[in-house]
Structure 1
Amino acid sequence: MEKLTKVISEAGVIEKLEINHLRTLDALYKFGNISLAAEYLSVSQQAISLQLKKIRVVLGDHLFVRTGHGMVPTPYAKLIEPHVLKVLIHLNEIPLPDSILPGRMERTLVISATDYTQKVIVGELIKDLRASAPKVKVIVTNIESANLIRKMHQGEIDLTFTVSGYVPEGLISETLFFERYRCVSADKAILSGDCLSLAELVKHDFVVTSPGIASFKGSADTWFEQQGFHRNVVLSVPSFFMAQAYLKQSDLVGFLPSRLLPCDGLFDIPLEKYPPGYEVVAAYHPSAKSDPFLKWLLDRVGQCFIGST
């Protein structure tokens, strides 16, 4: 019990030391002179004397004594000198937000992304990271929706790439680019003339992509209704890549993002009108707003899509 009390007591003493105390000791170690130490730290001699007096009280040792050759460290001061220097070295190695070097960064980055953004964004991002930040490890998960805010708040997910309309309230999102839909099918016979009218288009059966939630209602259904048409959706799949695969094996039609085209086995069906496109965004938790690495990362991603339409 006495030993434990002693350890607790010693820890309490060390906790009273401040960074300025350590810098004062370091200057006195370097110069052995209060005047030179004050000049080195850009403070007055009185400030150095007051700091030394406080440190003596905290540590219970005289630390430095005056001699004809300046201030000489006591045996205890010599004993703790390497510890003081080690702490200051570690403090000086703490990087400032604007001085993060990606090449030296060691961390794990967890990205939640749709299959589309994994193809269009994440693939190139990982290639870039392998060259610019090789010590960064990446975990890519399928798009998270229901628990995204909670997982971001708890640090389980760092970043998500998705559609603007699917970003939960409470997250920060940055627009990367605008994407447009194209109508495709493996049935070349659908191609007739320069453009297919919507009246002709809705005579065909559709496949829709509904990630996260199984549904026969796709993002374009409201638009079709506004145009006065109703389409017949017979197949719902959770990803654009599955939609591509099923389209190739059927006479169905469907809408795919333009950046996934051209696609072998599928034909672009020119339409007189197209459903509106959407914004592709990067989203993250407000607590990560000051993360210098995330800021650097998003700048890199954003540069890839400047002027992209």
Structure 2
Amino acid sequence: MNFATLDLNLLRVLDALFREGSTVRAGARLGISQSAVSNALNRLRHALNDDLLIRHGNRLVPTAYAETIRHDLAEQLDGLAQLLQAPATFDPATAEGNFKIAASDFFAEMLMPALADLLHGRAPGIRAQLVDLVPQNYIESLERSSADLVLIPDAPLPKFVSRQDLFRSPFAAIARQGNPHIEGLKQGDVFPLDLFCRLPHVLFSPEGNTKAMGDAALAKVGRTRTVAITVPVFSGVCRAVSESDLIALIPRQLVERLGDHYRLSWFEPPMPIDPPLIIGAWHRRDERTPQHRWLRSAVFSILAKLDPDLALAQRDGMKMS
């Protein structure tokens, strides 16, 4: 391939095809016709001597070679766009736009009310949207710009994704106030292991899984539990527990916020469970975008209050570096 004669606009088309998996959607993304996209793809196939994308059902999937250049291409194009972009000023008071956060409904309680108040007072033209987090697709949602920020348990991330540690989320066992099985237990006590394993559980699982971190922790002490129902949202877990004799494990920060509303009591789990680290992740193309930087800083400052020790350790680490 002679790079000197390559039309660089073809690379924008290839990037759009990688992101959309369709000549129609790629054309819509770029504002050109489907036939123009197909023509560009054919030219690239000839120039790079590879099929690049192969039809699989109703979607185009990358070849092995194309997969090796996919993320680097997106990163290089985004970097070039930032390089050529005129310096931008950002004034929250006059800014307008949307900011989509993909996360569980935990954040509907623990983030969005405070964020709404902050935006109302400082950036009234910006709309924050909490959208459902699809566990298997959050990386794709960042690639396709269907989310600006994802809030997830710590996980390996591709190099085109930036991240920040936010807080640790310890678990609590919950039961409704008045549940006859917890008579004699005081809030904050350790839940008896035999009782914990005997009572049926409500499990939070967007995918409908019947096992989670609690089961892995129980297995380490040689025990199991019975999951009676699964629900895809934490509010559903709280509701189910509040209206039955079932119990559940949920983030302690959440039950401390909602326990009185749902008339729930919370207890320490009977087995050790490492509290998961929750992180914020975003596409590196937005690393230096002024509006994105301001908004994610606003989100992170709110969530830092959930784990003051981690926030303090991060500040100390920044001072030392």
Under a length normalisation based on structure 2, what TM-score does the superposition of the two structures give? Answer: 0.60
CA contact (8 A) 1:177 1:280 kept: yes
- The partner residue of 1:190 within 182, 192, 203 is 182
Number of the residue aligned with 1:84 = none
- The partner residue of 1:230 within 221, 224, 227 is 224
Matches within 5 A, 1:1-309: 96=87, 99-165=89-155, 169-170=158-159, 171-186=161-176, 187-192=179-184, 194-211=189-206, 213-262=207-256, 263=259, 264-304=262-302, 305=304, 308=308
CA contact (8 A) 2:163 2:281 kept: yes
Identical pairs, percent: 19
Q: State the Cα deviation string for residues 168-187 of structure 1 (Å, max 9, x = none).
A: 54532211111111101122
Q: CA deviation at 1:222?
A: 0.8
Instruction: Provide structure 2 residue ranges, at least 5 long, that are not aligned to the other structure.
Output: 1-84, 310-321
Return closer, same or farther for 1:217/1:271 CA change in 2, 3 Å cut-off: closer
Q: CA deviation at 1:132?
A: 1.2
Under a length normalisation based on structure 1, what TM-score does the superposition of the two structures give? Answer: 0.62
CA contact (8 A) 1:153 1:287 kept: no
Which secondary structure does the structure 2 equivalent of 1:220 belong to?
Answer: helix
Q: State the Cα deviation string for residues 184-204 of structure 1 (Å, max 9, x = none).
A: 112253244553332332111
CA distance in structure 1 between the aligned counterparts of 2:114 and 2:216, rounded to whole angstroms: 33
Return closer, same or farther for 1:164/1:191 CA change in 2, 3 Å cut-off: farther
Number of the residue aligned with 2:7 = none
CA distance in structure 1 between the aligned counterparts of 2:86 and 2:126, rounded to whole angstroms: 17
Return closer, same or farther for 1:229/1:169 CA change in 2, 3 Å cut-off: farther
Q: CA deviation at 1:129?
A: 1.2
Aligned length: 213
CA distance in structure 2 between the aligned counterparts of 1:153 and 1:168, rounded to whole angstroms: 12
CA distance in structure 2 between the aligned counterparts of 1:122 and 1:95, rounded to whole angstroms: 32
CA distance in structure 2 between the aligned counterparts of 1:184 and 1:274, rounded to whole angstroms: 16
Q: State the Cα deviation string for residues 90-136 of structure 1 (Å, max 9, x = none).
A: xxxx9735x42211212221221210022211231122112111111
Q: CA deviation at 1:272?
A: 4.4
Number of the residue aligned with 2:81 = none
Return closer, same or farther for 1:222/1:128 CA change in 2, 3 Å cut-off: same
CA contact (8 A) 2:143 2:283 kept: yes
